[in-house]
Amino acid sequence: MKAKQLAELGSKLHSDKSSLNSLWQEVANNFYPERADFTTTRYLGEDFAANLTTSYPITCRRDLGNQFSTMLRPNSRPWFHPKRKFEEKVTTDIEVRQVLEYFEKTMRKAMYDPPALFNRSTKEADHDFAAFGQLCMSIELNRQGNGMLYRTWHLRDLAWKENADGQLGFIARKWKPDMMTLAQTFGKDKLDSEWQRRLDKEPFSTGQVMHIVCDAEMYDENPQGRPRWSIYWDMDHNKILEENPIFGRHYIIPRWSVVGGQYGYSPAVVAALPDARLIQAMSFTMLEVGEKAANPPVIATKDSVRSDIAVFAGGITWVDKEYDERLGDALRPINQDFSGARYGVDMIGDTRSMIHRAFFLDTLTIPERTAEMTAYEVGQRVQEYIRNALPIFEPMETEYNSALCDETFHMMKRNGAFGSPLDWPKSMQEMDVDFQFESPLHDLIDQEKSNLWSQAQAQLAESIALDPTTAFVVDAKVALRDSLEGMGVPAIWLNSEDEVDRAVEINAQQQQQAEMLDRMKQGSEVASNLSE
C-alpha cells in the first residue's frame, strides 16, 4: 500500500467517525465542557458551561478522573516496579533486583522531569479516559533528543483501525500546525515551495498534516526490521513530508471497554448520561419555581395601571385614581401552590445519587477502621472493597499504566538511557521486562498477606501445643519473605535466598564447632577428675 492510499484510508476513517464525534460532543457538553469542541469551534473567553444549570455531573467526572491518578500513579512514592516478564512478582535475585531498581529510578527521573510534561499530559488523559473511555498519548524523545516528551491529543483528531490480532495497527492523526512549527519539526527544505513562501510572509498561518503510524506490512517500503512506519503526509499538497520505520508504537490508546468496534466507551458515562440530561432539566424547573416563589407573577386590571409594573424592592406602580377598589385590587399576585417543590428536591437528590453511583464514587472510598471493629470485621470490609474496586482499576493498569511504562522503558533503552546492556548481569541480557504496579488498592491486597501471616502464626502456635510436628507444615522463610514484600520492604534490605542459605550453613557449622568444643571441654574435665 502506498502512502497516498494510507492517507486516503485515514481520511475515510475520520469521515466514518463523524457520528461518534457528535456523541462525544454530547458527552462533553454534560460532563466535560472544557473538551466540548468535537463538532463546534470554541473561542477564547467563551463560557464553557453556559448551557448547564447544575455542575454535579461535571464534578462527578472530575472526581473520577482525579481518582485515577491518586490511586494508580501517586506522585509521593514509586508506583511502578520493573520485573521479569511472566513472573508474578519481582525476582528474588538481589543483583537483578538492584539493576531493575536502577531502571525504575532512571525512568522516574525522566518521566517527572518538568520539560517532559508527564504530569500535565497524564492529568489531561485521565479525564479523557473517565469521560470518553479512551485517550491518545504520544511518547517520544524531545526535539533535542535529551529527554522524554509526553503529549495527549484531542480524540476529535484521531481515527484508528484494528489489525487481525485485535491490536491497533493503523492510527491517523490530523494536525494543523503553523508554518513556523512545520519548519522547526521537519526543516524548511522538506516543506513544499508554497509553504516555504508562506513561512516567509505568513509564518503563523496553518497547514493540514496527517500523521500515520501503521504496521510495517501495510506499507510497501523496506521497514529495516522495524515493526511499524511513521509517516507525515502533507494533506494540502498530497505528498510525503517524512517517513521513518520505528520500533515503538509512538501512540498509546488505552480503551476502558470495547464492544463491537475499534472505539471504546466509558461505562460510567453510559450509565450517567440519561441522568445528567434529567438533572439539568429538573434543576432548570426548580430554578423557575424558586423565581416564581420569590417574584410571583402579577394580575393587573385592564386600563387601571398607569405605569410599568415595578416588581423590584421599593418599586412604585401607579394606578388610575378613578379605579373603584370594590371591583378588586388593581394589582394582585397569582395564587400558586408550591407544596410539590419538595418532591422536586427529592427527585434531584435521587438523581444525584444515581450519577454518583454511575461514576463508581461510592465504591472508591477506602473503608475506615474504628476501635470497635474486630480484626475479622476489618478484613471482611477490606475484601469487599477490593472486590468492588478491582474491576474499575484493572483495565487502567493493563491498558494504560502498563502501555505507558512499557513504551517509556523501551524508548529509553534504545537510546542508551540505562547504559550498555553488556554491563548488566548475564541473566538480564535477553530478559523481557514487565511492570508491577503499586496503589492504595494493591497496598490493601499486599497487607492481607501480612494479616494472613499473623493469623497463621497464631494458629500454628495453638497447633504446636497439641502436636509439635505441625511446626514443619509452614515454610517460615517463604512466608516471612512474602509478608515483607507485601509490606513494601525495599530489596536492598533483604538478603537473597543463596545468601540466606550460606548464612544458615555457616551458622550450623559454628554450632557444630561450639558443640564439639563443649564436648572436648567436658571430656578434659572428666579426665582431670579421674586423674585426681
Position 442 confidence tier, pLDDT thresholds 50, 70, 90: low
Q: Are strands 239-246 and 251-252 parallel, antiparallel or unpaired?
A: unpaired
Which single residue is written with the C-alpha cell 523481557? 432
Q: What is the pLDDT of residue 467?
A: 72
Residue 36 and residue 25 in contact, taking contact as beta carbons nearer than 8 Å: yes
List Cα–Cα distances, 203 to 182, 192, 238, 241, 518, in angstroms.
Answer: 10, 14, 21, 18, 93
Task: Give the C-alpha separation, 153 to 53, whole Å.
Answer: 29
Q: ∠ CA(53), CA(29), CA(44), 5° rounding?
A: 95
Contacts of 185 (CB under 8 A, 6+ apart): 143, 177
> pLDDT tens across 65-100, in order?
998 888 888 887 888 888 877 776 556 567 788 888
Joined together, the cell numbers standing for residue 249 give 508504537
Residue 264 and residue 133 in contact, taking contact as beta carbons nearer than 8 Å: yes
Its sign, for the CA torsion 78, 364, 352, 267, is positive
Angle at which helix 267-294 crosses helix 118-132, to 10 degrees, equals: 80
List Cα–Cα distances, 23 to 10, 35, 156, in angstroms.
Answer: 20, 13, 11
Task: Give the C-alpha separation, 484 to 477, whole Å.
Answer: 11
Task: Give the C-alpha separation, 250 to 139, whole Å.
Answer: 5
Q: What is the average pLDDT across 141-146?
A: 90
For the chain, the average pLDDT equals 83
Residue 439 and residue 79 in contact, taking contact as beta carbons nearer than 8 Å: yes
User: Residue 118 pLDDT more than 90?
Assistant: yes
Residue 155, Cβ density class (10 Å: 0-12 exposed, 13-18 middle, ≥19 buried): buried
Angle at which helix 56-72 crosses helix 267-294, to 10 degrees, equals: 140
> pLDDT tens across 253-300, in order?
999 988 888 999 999 999 999 999 999 999 988 888 887 777 777 666
Q: How many other CB atoms sit within 10 Å of the CB of residue 404? A: 23
Residue 462, Cβ density class (10 Å: 0-12 exposed, 13-18 middle, ≥19 buried): exposed
Task: Give the C-alpha separation, 271 to 24, whole Å.
Answer: 15
Q: What is the pLDDT of residue 141?
A: 94
Contacts of 433 (CB under 8 A, 6+ apart): 82, 83, 84, 85, 100, 103, 409
Residue 405 and residue 80 in contact, taking contact as beta carbons nearer than 8 Å: yes
User: Residue 137 pLDDT more than 90?
Assistant: yes
Q: What is the pLDDT of residue 378?
A: 64
Tell me which range, 348-352, 382-386, 425-429, 441-445, is most confidently predicted by mean pLDDT: 348-352
Give residue 264's identity as a one-letter amino acid code. Answer: G
Q: Are strands 137-141 and 148-152 parallel, antiparallel or unpaired?
A: antiparallel
Q: How many other CB atoms sit within 10 Å of the CB of residue 504? A: 11
Q: What is the pLDDT of residue 332?
A: 65
Position 139 confidence tier, pLDDT thresholds 50, 70, 90: very high
Number of H helices, E strands in the chain: 14, 14
List Cα–Cα distances, 369 to 76, 366, 443, in angstroms.
Answer: 23, 9, 15
Q: What is the pLDDT of residue 157?
A: 96
Contacts of 526 (CB under 8 A, 6+ apart): none
Write the DSSP string, 286-331.
HHHHHHHHHS--EEE-TTTB-S----STT----B-TT--GGG--SE
Q: What is the pLDDT of residue 135?
A: 95
> pLDDT tens across 447-499, in order?
556 566 666 777 777 777 777 776 666 777 776 666 666 555 665 666 766 77
Joined together, the cell numbers standing for residue 501 give 542459605
Is the model more confident about 380 or about 403?
A: 403
